[in-house]
Structure 1
């Protein structure tokens, strides 16, 4: 947790910090702009149960960074500076990673010194790294409200500095702005997002469930505390539904497996349901985990190359075996690329270019954006508990779509003033809607769907039907014919997955979400 507390000398600060620790129980605390003699750090932290800390004095009256951590946290100070503290975390059953707690001076000269140091640090470290604190800058126009117009050059320069360090914005849930500024005569009060978390791709991949929360601002400071939850399992998605992996299509034995399973009684729907457990079993026993396959192949190739290098004359058996293994490794690498491309909802794949790391980071970032960590309820209170959030969302949309939903004044006004009209169909067009559909039309419709677009409830994307049309196409056509002739119950396939699309940047209530359903 980091907090620009704007001074630690008051009783209000001590009460506020004690409250935050009781409520959030952080392992590490970073206090910024402490504004008092750093010798007081020990007195304050010992009262709160922290036995290890580092205190960096500020520059004159401004600045000052104090960081404390609990004994069970394997934390070591790498470097101290008037504007930042580099920390190393080790142990706890995972690889080492680095954290920087920062208070960036608002003056341009010192600010440039800070980002020069960060750019240099980014070049020399390959380890996971996260940067958290008051950076005293905004990256976009929507990160400021009130006051003078936003300085676009300021935003561009900040974005450029972050990019030069190869850092990603972790985003945040909770309040949109983290600093409450002065009320300038003639303008609205200023609010800005000055505090944030940034990380490099390695840290984002190491802590895929990490979230930043902008906590409630307390009266003793004009900044919101930031809470970084590095790996909180409470923010999971729940049971994962079945999803067909496109990389399976590339396996030499996939067709044989599919033909063997695509038999028996029942139509398309039953066959797809029966195929799911068979696919999962086949993946476990035949296809196997792609990372394990890659490691085994690399180990075998390395062993063969060592043997070849020790022979005085070439061994054609080993040379041919290496060539076969290299070919198999190439197939595995291609499958891995397709795997992460599909998961990232990517729009392109460059032939011959291994973009797995790019797609992996894109996937992790997309999953983080898709998480709803906090929302306000009807009373305006923040709700964080995942069970309560699910129930709140269910209740909201059940009420919204119920027969007895009471329209608001805004909803009534919207429909009363609606002037939208729809074009009418010609008689010839109306008649053509009742004609029988053809096999070619059904096939064209299936093949017009984006291959990797999100699947429906059954988990099979369009690429499965398109690539294996010679096996499953006849059942797809028959099923659509039966639907058209009312021989199948439309309700059975009309289930859908509801997706909440934000209407605004960083929504904080369900009213700011647009529900969309999609089926393949």
Structure 2
């Protein structure tokens, strides 16, 4: 279908700038599954050339330090720290360019390295490169080609952990599944086992933008299919519509989770995709407690400060008077406890 229906302007077009206007720090993590082959070095050089990461993390290197130093020299990174593999298991190597960023390792473990990163002279932030079996979990059904009660249980626990840690997931582009094994339809398994999580202080606008873009594309495709089905019913189109609607539900759930975490409204445990509420509550927190305009009794907007004050005084005066006269006797008395002078 070559024509897509237009998407109405909505709140996605007025997303607040969630990150300060500063030069970004690009970080790249690659699960290399062994860093000793000649092809690996060739592919790595090409990836670095294309993505130009300021900070590069290689996990599951299966090797000790001599190769790590060699790679640093080949790629031109003058900053380097690592935890070497234990035998032929694990290994995390971190590289950075000292003229661009300052990296200070804080905690090093054979399954993760936590560091403080900043552009030279800028405010630092924290970054952790993780390679751990506990993170080999998916969050949504679409992130696996096969599911069972156990994978669903683990997904529930993983999602609860992400929410309890007040983390947001950075959306991605590319293949939906980043891991696969099995060469036949019967043995094939695949899933998305790689992701980036951040707290709301460092949530980038792209996180929201990518979700909204996916939602707009899905709405457009569903609209086109429904338009076609109105004139011609096809079994394939019906199946495609059902699949796309399921994907849309997942996108809406992700969008709601993002706004929920941004809004910090802990008392609201469940929602019915009421993302407008979450969005507005996030924005309202940033507004100053200020009244800039009010409508007077004639329905006209008033912006003058003195006139606004008069409108407010008049409103509450009328609210607490009856027939133009104060009636204080109807107001309940002595219903609130008082503190003594000594208290």
TM-score scaled by length of structure 1? 0.36
Equivalent position SS for 1:14: helix
Equivalent residue number for residue 191 of structure 2? 192
For 1:451 and 1:5, locate their aligned partners in 2 and report how far apart those are by CA, in whole Å: 43
1:182 Cα deviation from its structure 2 partner: 2.6
SS of 1:151 mapped into structure 2: helix
Unpaired runs of at least 5, structure 2: 1-27, 235-275, 281-291, 302-343
CA contact under 8 A between 1:147 and 1:184: conserved in structure 2? no
Give yes or no for the alignment of 1:181 onto 2:10. no
Deviations 1:26-85 (A, max 9, x none): 111110100122331000121111121112123442211011001221111111100111
**Which residue matches 1:471?**
300
- Contact kept in structure 2, 1:54 and 1:66, CA below 8 Å: yes
Q: Which runs of 5+ in 1 are unaligned?
A: 112-134, 212-365, 376-395, 398-406, 419-449, 455-463, 473-520
**SS class of match (2:158):** helix
RMSD (Å), alpha carbons:
3.7
Alignment-derived partner of residue 416 in structure 1: 232
Instruction: Provide the residue aligned with 1:369 in structure 2.
Output: 211
On the 8 A contact 2:31/2:58 being kept in 1, the answer is yes
Conserved in 1, the CA contact under 8 Å of 2:118 and 2:124?
Answer: yes
- TM-score, length-scaled by structure 2: 0.54
Task: Measure the CA separation in 2 of the matches of 1:453 and 1:82.
Answer: 40
Q: Which has the higher contact order (CA 8 A, sep 6+)?
A: 2
- Closer/same/farther in 2, CA of residues 69 and 451 from structure 1, 3 Å limit: closer
SS in 2 for 1:80: strand
How many matched pairs? 215
Tell me by how many angstroms 1:414 deviates.
5.7
Q: Tell me the distance in 2 between the aligned counterparts of 1:25 and 1:4.
A: 17
Cα separation, partners in 2 of 1:159 and 1:147, compared to 1, 3 Å: closer
Distance 1:451 1:142 in 2: 27
Matched residue of 1:158: which SS?
A: helix
Aligned twin of 2:96? 69
State the match for 2:168 in structure 1. Answer: 168
Q: What is the CA distance between 1:149 and its match in structure 2? A: 7.0
CA shift, 1:141, in A, is: 1.6
Q: What residue in structure 2 maps to residue 26 of structure 1?
A: 53
Distance 2:211 2:185 in 1: 38
CA contact (8 A) 2:180 2:190 kept: yes
**Superposition map of 1:479-494 within 5 A:** none
What's 2:205 paired with?
Answer: 209
1:57 aligns with 2:53: no
